[in-house]
Amino acid sequence: MGWLIAAIVFVVPLVFFPRATGYILVAALALLGGWALYDSLQNSRNLAEEEKVKIAASYDPVACALQTPVLANVVNGSSREVASVRFDIAVKRRGYSNEIGRLSRLLDDRPMPPGGQSHYCYALPVLIPAVAPEELEFLIPLQFVTFK
């Protein structure tokens, strides 16, 4: 919808003021270039802040119930307040490179101030092949952070 409005704003003057075509095109390019620069700077700032939010997963039947022994600890090392974090937990056998299980589309939607942390417990996924818990290694392959 925004592109349609922008096209109308710049095409209508081109039709009614053909002599000012060059000026209108330069103004349009400057406006689009400024918007692209702003968006790029905002995106790089968000990515830098997202990298400061750390997630660690481990097998911890002491901190969690026996039915949900996978502990996911989220720490907000960012200077901004986190609204939610979506992530996956991949399970590997220690010393091997292939995944034997995955917990997907997990959500931590508890607001976290800078320096805050939260933890959730999850059930162990079905492992193929079955592996003893002390041989498991947990990784966070995907993480998406939303800031307030």
List the pLDDT tens digit at each of the 148 positions of the chain.
667 777 777 777 777 777 877 787 788 789 889 999 999 999 999 899 999 999 999 999 999 998 999 999 999 999 999 999 999 999 999 999 999 999 999 999 889 999 999 999 999 988 888 888 889 999 999 999 999 8
Q: What share of the chain is helix, strand, coil (3-state, %, to 5)?
A: 35, 35, 30
Query: Which DSSP helix (H) or strand (E) runs through 10?
Result: helix 2-16
- Contact by Cβ (8 Å): 100, 127: yes
Q: Cα angle at 143 between 94 and 111, to 5 degrees? A: 120
Q: Where are the domains of the chain?
A: 2-48, 53-147
Q: What residue has token string 């607001």?
A: 111
Pairing status of strand 99-108 against strand 117-122: unpaired
Question: For residue 28, what pLDDT is reported?
Answer: 79
Q: Which amino acid is at 68?
A: T
CATH class belonging to 53-147: mainly beta
120 class by beta-carbon count within 10 Å (0-12 exposed, 13-18 middle, 19+ buried): middle
- Report the alpha-carbon distance of residue 121 to residue 67 in Å, rounded: 9
Q: Which amino acid is at 72?
A: A
